[in-house]
Structure 1
Amino acid sequence: MPEQLDPESVLREVAGLEERIEELRRSAGLPDADARATLDAAMVELELALAALRTIGGEQSGAPGRSAATEDERRVLKTVFTDAPVPLFLLDRDGGVRRVNRQAAELLGTSTGYVSGKQFTAFCDLATRAPLRSQLAAVIRTGRRCRVPVRFLGGERPVDAIVTLARVWIRGEPDPMVVAVAGPATTPIRFSATSEPAAEREVEAASTARVQAARAAEASAKSSGVSTTVGVDTSGDEAIASLVHRMDVLGAVTEMLLDEPVFNETVAVRRCARLLATELAEWVFIDLVPQRKAEGGGQPGTARNGDADPLRYVVMGPEDEAAEEAARRFSEVDPAPGTLPWTVFESGQSALRAHADEPDLLGTCPDGQPVLSLIGATSVLCVPVTDGDATIGTITLGGSGEHGPFSLLDLSVCQRIGRYLGLVVRAARLYRRRAEVAATLQASLLPRTLPEIEGVELAARYTSATHGTEVGGDFYDAFRTKDGWGLVLGDVCGKGEDAAAVTATARHGVRLVSRWRTHPAEVLAAVNEALLTEDRFVTAVLAGITPRGEGVRVTLGIAGHPPAIVVRADGVIRTASRGGVPLGLFEDFEAGLDTLDLAPGDTLVLHSDGVLEACDVGRRQYGQARLLETLAAHAVEPVDEMLSAVERSLLDFCDGDLRDDVSMLALRVLPPSLN
C-alpha cells in the first residue's frame, strides 16, 4: 500500500501530476513518440491521482529503518555505488540526479559532477521524457519496480538503453529516492513498462550481440595480421575529426562572410544560418537589433538604447516541408525576456545548455507551445553577435542529440562566428548608411522634376556608378532664362563631398547667372571665374532655348564637354561642335560655340562622358558610334523611351558594371498639333 499523505504533500503531488500530464500531451505529438509507452504512463498517472485522493487527511506513515546511518555504513554504501560495474543513478523524488557513478557518467559522455544536480530526464530524448517522468512518479508513490526503454543523449551519439527503476529509503533522508540502473539495448526498443520479461530478454540479447561483434572484429583483425584488443578506444580519433570539422566550418564561414558579393546584411545572415544548420545543428536562430535602432553609442555587452530590442531575423531548420512551415512560425516569435537568446543579448555572455530541460528556454509560440519541444531540441547553445562596440544580436543553435550534445568546442567556434558576423553586419550597415547619404546628397544636386516647357518635351536619366558609395560629380538642370529656357549638363572631376560642393556651385551658378546674362558663353565665363578658387575643374554644355517659328533655336556653349547630339525626325543624326576648355582652370576662359535649329520631331541630346567611356569585360569602350546607332534606332519613340533604350543598351554592354556615373538630358520639339 502506498504511504499516507498529508494535505501539503497532496498539493505537491497534484502540482507534479499537472506538470507531467502536460508534458505527456506534448510528447504524444512528437513524430517519433511511442504511443504505447505514453498510454501506459497516462494510466500510471490515473492510478497516482486516485491514490492521492484516497489519502487526503491521512497521516504519513513512517518508513522503517530511517535512523541515522553510521559513518562506516555510509562509506561502504558509497564505495559499492561508485565501483558498481553498471551505470547507476541515484534520484530524488522530483527526478533530480543526486549522485551517479563513473559508469553512468561514461554512458553520457561527461563527468559525474556535471550530471549531479540536473534533472534525470534532461539526459534523455524528448520522445521518452514524459513517459519516464510518469514512471518515476509511480515508483516513488507505489514502490513498484519497473523497466522502461530510454534513449540517452550520449557524448557523441544517442545510446539506447533499458532502465530499471526501484524505490529505496536512505537513512537520514526524509523522502524516498529512486535508484536507476541502465542496461544496454542494440536497437531502439518500444514496449510497455510492465513487460519485464521482454525487457530482460532484450538486455540479454543486446549483451550477447555486443560480445559476438567484438569477438568477430578481433578475429578479423588477427587474420589480417593486425594486433588489436576488443574494445579499443577510438575516442581520440573521433575528437581529432570533430576538431578538424569545426575548424573547417569556421574557415567556411570566414570565407563566405569576407566574400565581396556578401557585402549585404540580409545575404550574409542567411548564408551564415544555412551553413550552421547544415554543419553544426538541426536548427539555427539569428536575432539582430534593426539598423534604425542600432545607430548610436553603446557599451560592449549592452543594448545601444532603450528600445534596441533584438528581432528574429532568420530561422533555419531541416530541409523538408514540415520544417519550413515550422520555421515560418518561429520567425514570428521574437526573443522575449527570460528566454536564453534574450539573456545572452542582455548580458553579452555566451550560454551552453548541453542537456536542455526547460521547455520555455527558447520561448513559446502564439498558441502556447514551447519552441524547444516543437523543434525537438535537447541541446542548445547561444552566443552574442558583437560588432566590436556592442552586442547587436545572438546566434542560437538547437540540436536533437543525434551527434551528441553541444560541447565547449562548439561554443568556442560559434563565439568566433558571432564576432565575424557582427563585424560584417556593421560594415554592411555602414556601407548602406553611406550609400543612403550619398544618394540623398546626389538627389539634392539634381532637379526633382523637369519643368513643363510649351512646345517641347523633356526627359532625363541619371545612373550612378556600380562601385563605391561616394557622391558623383554629374549634374543637369532645366530652368528659365532672360530670353527663354536653359539646359545644362556637366561633370565635375572626382567624387565625394568635395566634388559635391563644386557640383552645387556649378549648377546653381549657371542657373543664377542666366537670369541676367543672355548668351551661354557669357554665363559660362562668369561661372568659370567663380570656380577658379576650387581645386577641381568642371566640363559642361549649356544650351539656350528660344522659340523660332514652329521649332526652336538652340545656342550652345561648350566647356570641354562631349558634343551635343541632334536626332532628326527622319533618323538622321548630327553632332554639334566641340571645343572650349573646362571651367575652373584658366582665367582667360573661352567657350566653344554652336547654333542649331530644331524642327518638329527633332531631338537634342546632352550626355556625360560616362556614356562613351563605359567598358565591357574586354575593356572596350561603348563609344560614340554605339550611342549614335542606339539613338537612331529609337528616333521615332517618345523621348523618355529613347533614353531608356540607351540606358538598357549601356548596361547590357558593360554587364551592369558601370565605373562612372551616367547622365543624359534630352529635349524634343513637339509637332504643331500637340503644341
Structure 2
Amino acid sequence: MTDLEQRLGEFAARVADLPRSHELETAEGLVRDALAELAKAKRRRDGGPQREQKLLRQIFRTLPIPVIVMDTGGTVRRINNETTRLLGSPAGYLIGRAFPLLIESSRRAVFRARFAEALRSEESTTFETRLAHQGRAHTVRLVLSRLRMPGEPQEMVAAVALPTDVQLTGPDSGKDTPDEALFLEAARRHELSAQLTRLLLDDESLREPVALIRAARLLGAETADWVIADMVRDGGLHRAAVIAPSTQPVAKLQRAVEARDPAEAPLVARVLATRSGVVHEMLSDDSLLGADVLTQMKAGSLLSVPIQSDDEVAGVLTLVRLRDRPPFGLADLGLLEEIGAHLGLALRAQRSFQRSSNAADALRSGVLPRSLPEVAGFETAAIYHPGSAMRAIGGEFYDVFPMKGGWGFVIGGAAGRGEEAASVTSLVRNGIRVLSAFERDPGEALRKVNDALLAQHTGLFVMAAAGFVRGRKVRLASAGHHPAALLQPDGGVRFTEGGGVPLGFEEGAVPATEELTLTSGETLVLYSDGLVGTRSSAGENYGEARLTEVLARCVNQPPSAVVKAIEEDHRAFCDDEVVDEVTVLTLRRSR
C-alpha cells in the first residue's frame, strides 16, 4: 500500500503542475491566428506577382515610345502600341517576323553587329538606323538591351526606337482611317483590273503583238516601279519586256536587267514550276531575281505570278516596288494572279488571230494583185483598206491584167466575209481573166461567170464591174456595181451608167454595158460601196457628191495622187476610223 500511495502522490503532484484550461484555450487561439496569417501570406504571395505582371504589361502597351522585344535570333516576340503606329502594321502581322527586315537594307549589317554586341554585353548599345516598312521610312535612335528573366532559359533583347525625324501622330491627324484606306485600296485594284481588261480587248491588242508590253506599261504606271515579263519560247524562258521607273535615271540598269537570262532568277523558275504566284512583302533574299538585281533596284517588296491560260503556262510576270512604297500584300497577289490569267488568255487569242490573219493574207493574195502591171499609154493606181471592223477575210477585190489586143480590169465585192466569200471573189476574178482570152465583150464574160457562180449554190452574190481596153476604147460592163467616175482635164466629173444585176443573184441576168473613149488626161475612177456608203459619226453619208468634190481638186494629177487624195479625205470624214473595206482603182490616159 505504501508503494501505491507513494505513486499516487507523485501523479497528483504532476497534475497540479499542468496549465489551467483557460491557458490551453489561449494557446489554441494563438495557433488559429498563426494559421490564418499563414494563409493570408500565401494568398499575398500568389496574387501579388500577377497584379504586377498585369501592371507591367499595361505600361509596356501604353508607353509613348516604340518598344520591341526580340529573341536571340532577332525574331519579334512582343511590340507595343506605339510600334504598330510607327510602322503602320498590326501586332499580329509583325510578331514572328525577323526584325532586320524592318531595317533599311543598307543598314542591316550594322544592326546585326550591334545586336550581337548587345547579346554579349551587360551594357545597352545605342546607334542610329532607319526603319522602313509600309512605305514609311523613319530615322531612329535604337537602344538594344539584353534581358535576363529569372526562371526563363532563353534571353531576350529589348529595342527602344526613338524617332528623330517623325512627329508621332494622334487619332485626329487627318489621315484616312483604316477602313477608309482599305476601301480606297480595293477600289484602286478594281479600277486597275477594269483598265487592263479594256486594254486587252482593244482591237490593236489582237492585230499586233502589243498586248504584253501594253499590260506591262499599265502595271508600271499604276502599281509597280519595275515590271519584268519573261515568256516561254522554243522550250526556254526569254526576257520579253522590262519596264523601269520613269522618274529615275536607271537606263543603264534597265538594259542590264533586259540582258539578264531569266534562268538566273530562282523566283521566276519557282513560279514557272509551281504555276502559282509568290509575294515577298519584306525582302530577305536579294538574289531572287539573280545576283545584285534587287539590291541595285533598291527593292522593298516584289511579287511574281504565272501568265497562263487553262493548263498552258506562257510566262512569268514579276512586279517590284521600291523601299519607299507600301509593300505588296496578299490582296495584290490575288489581283495579279487574275491579271496573269487574263493576259494568258489575251496572248492565246492574239496567236489564234495571227494564225487566222496569216491564212487571210494567203487567201487575200488570191483576190488582190501584189502590184499593177505597166500598161502602154495608161497610168494605173489602186488602194485597198481592209477596215477596222474586219474579223475575217474581206470580200472585195480588184485586178488589172493583159489580154489579147489590149488589157482588162475588174473590181467588185462579195456580200459577205470569210473563206467562202474569198473563194467566190477568187472565182469571179480568175473567171474574168480566163474568159478575156475568148470574149471581146466584158459583159459576156460577166454573164458566164454569173452562170458558174449560180452552179456553185453558194447563196452569195457579187457586185462587179469589168472593162476591156483596146487603144482609147474602154468597153465597160456592170453587174450591180456603182457607176464609175470620169475625171476630165478641165476638172469636170461625170459618172457612167453602172447598174445591172449582181452576179449569183439571177440566172440569165444580162450586165449593163457601155463604151467609153478616153482622151489624153482623162482618169477613170472605180470604187467600192465601202467608200461612198461610209457614214460619219454625225450620220452623214460620204456619197458620190463628196467624191466629186475630191476628184475636182485632182485635175491633171497622176492616179497615185488621186487615190491618195481620196484615201485622206475619206479618213478625215470618218475621223480616221475606217470600218468597212474600201477599194479604189484609177486608170488615166497618158497619151
TM-score, normalised to structure 2, is: 0.77
Structure 2 equivalent of residue 29 of structure 1: none
Structure 1 equivalent of residue 235 of structure 2: 306
Structure 2 equivalent of residue 16 of structure 1: none
State the 1:420 CA deviation.
Answer: 3.3
Structure 1 equivalent of residue 449 of structure 2: 527
Confirm or deny: 8 A CA contact 2:117 2:125 kept in the other structure: no
Structure 1 equivalent of residue 27 of structure 2: none
Structure 2 equivalent of residue 363 of structure 1: 290
Q: How many residues align?
A: 522
d(CA) in 1 for partners of 2:164 and 2:204?
47
Look up the SS of the partner of 2:393 in the other structure: coil
Confirm or deny: 8 A CA contact 1:604 1:667 kept in the other structure: yes
Structure 2 equivalent of residue 377 of structure 1: 299
d(CA) in 1 for partners of 2:263 and 2:95?
29
1:492 aligns with 2:469: no
Change (3 A) 1:521 1:403: closer
Q: Gaps (5+ residues) in structure 2?
A: 1-52, 61-66
Describe the superposition over 1:395-425 as per-residue Cα deviations: whole angstroms up to 9, x where unpaired. Answer: 3333345455332223223323333343344
Change (3 A) 1:620 1:439: farther
State the 1:641 CA deviation.
Answer: 0.9
Describe the superposition over 1:224-277 as per-residue Cα deviations: whole angstroms up to 9, x where unpaired. Answer: xxxxxxxx9x99x84423431232122212321333784444765556545544
d(CA) in 2 for partners of 1:168 and 1:247?
42
Matches within 5 A, 1:211-230: none
Q: In the alignment, which of 505, 518, 537 is matched to residue 617 of structure 1?
A: 537
Q: In the alignment, which of 109, 114, 129 is matched to residue 150 of structure 1?
A: 129
Give 1:89's aligned amino acid: M
Structure 2 equivalent of residue 25 of structure 1: none
Change (3 A) 1:278 1:182: farther
Change (3 A) 1:520 1:389: same
State the 1:128 CA deviation.
Answer: 1.7
1:605 aligns with 2:525: yes
d(CA) in 1 for partners of 2:546 and 2:75?
84
Describe the superposition over 1:585-619 as per-residue Cα deviations: whole angstroms up to 9, x where unpaired. Answer: 11112011101111222222222122211121122
Matches within 5 A, 1:72-91: 85=60, 86-91=67-72
Matches within 5 A, 1:644-659: 644-659=564-579
Look up the SS of the partner of 1:646 in the other structure: helix
Describe the superposition over 1:314-356 as per-residue Cα deviations: whole angstroms up to 9, x where unpaired. Answer: 4142x42425665455444453344323421332111121221
d(CA) in 1 for partners of 2:79 and 2:296?
33
Q: In the alignment, which of 226, 233, 248 is matched to residue 284 of structure 1?
A: 226
Q: Gaps (5+ residues) in structure 1?
A: 1-78, 172-176, 189-205, 222-231, 294-304, 365-369
d(CA) in 2 for partners of 1:241 and 1:164?
35
d(CA) in 2 for partners of 1:113 and 1:538?
71
d(CA) in 2 for partners of 1:91 and 1:159?
24
1:481 aligns with 2:403: yes
Look up the SS of the partner of 1:410 in the other structure: helix
Change (3 A) 1:631 1:327: same
RMSD between aligned residues:
3.7
1:449 aligns with 2:371: yes
Matches within 5 A, 1:165-314: 165=144, 180-188=157-165, 238-259=177-198, 262-265=202-205, 269=212, 272-273=215-216, 276-277=219-220, 280-281=223-224, 283-289=225-231, 293=233, 306-307=235-236, 309-314=237-242
Matches within 5 A, 1:84-103: 85=60, 86-92=67-73, 97=74, 100-103=77-80
1:539 aligns with 2:463: yes
Give 1:460's aligned amino acid: A
State the 1:490 CA deviation.
Answer: 1.0
Structure 1 equivalent of residue 308 of structure 2: 386
Q: In the alignment, which of 103, 106, 126 is matched to residue 105 of structure 2?
A: 126
Describe the superposition over 1:114-148 as per-residue Cα deviations: whole angstroms up to 9, x where unpaired. Answer: 765x7653231123223324445666799986322
Look up the SS of the partner of 1:336 in the other structure: helix
Change (3 A) 1:156 1:359: closer
**Larger Rg over CA atoms:** 2
d(CA) in 2 for partners of 1:284 and 1:242?
24
Confirm or deny: 8 A CA contact 2:536 2:574 kept in the other structure: yes
Q: Which moved more, 1:526-535 or 1:263-272?
A: 263-272
Confirm or deny: 8 A CA contact 2:403 2:437 kept in the other structure: yes
d(CA) in 2 for partners of 1:279 and 1:461?
42
d(CA) in 2 for partners of 1:668 and 1:459?
9
TM-score, normalised to structure 1, is: 0.68
State, as a whole percentage, how many aligned pairs show the same letter. 30
Give 1:344's aligned amino acid: V
Change (3 A) 1:285 1:500: same
Structure 2 equivalent of residue 198 of structure 1: none
Change (3 A) 1:489 1:277: closer
1:315 aligns with 2:239: no
State the 1:505 CA deviation.
Answer: 0.9
Q: Which moved more, 1:372-381 or 1:100-109?
A: 100-109
d(CA) in 2 for partners of 1:488 and 1:662?
15
Look up the SS of the partner of 2:408 in the other structure: strand
Confirm or deny: 8 A CA contact 2:140 2:161 kept in the other structure: yes
d(CA) in 2 for partners of 1:332 and 1:539?
55
Confirm or deny: 8 A CA contact 2:277 2:305 kept in the other structure: yes
Give 1:499's aligned amino acid: A
Structure 2 equivalent of residue 353 of structure 1: 280
Structure 2 equivalent of residue 581 of structure 1: 501
Look up the SS of the partner of 1:285 in the other structure: strand
Q: Which moved more, 1:526-535 or 1:371-380?
A: 371-380
Look up the SS of the partner of 2:299 in the other structure: coil
Look up the SS of the partner of 2:526 in the other structure: strand
1:517 aligns with 2:447: no
Describe the superposition over 1:165-199 as per-residue Cα deviations: whole angstroms up to 9, x where unpaired. Answer: 5689999xxxxx995431122224xxxxxxxxxxx
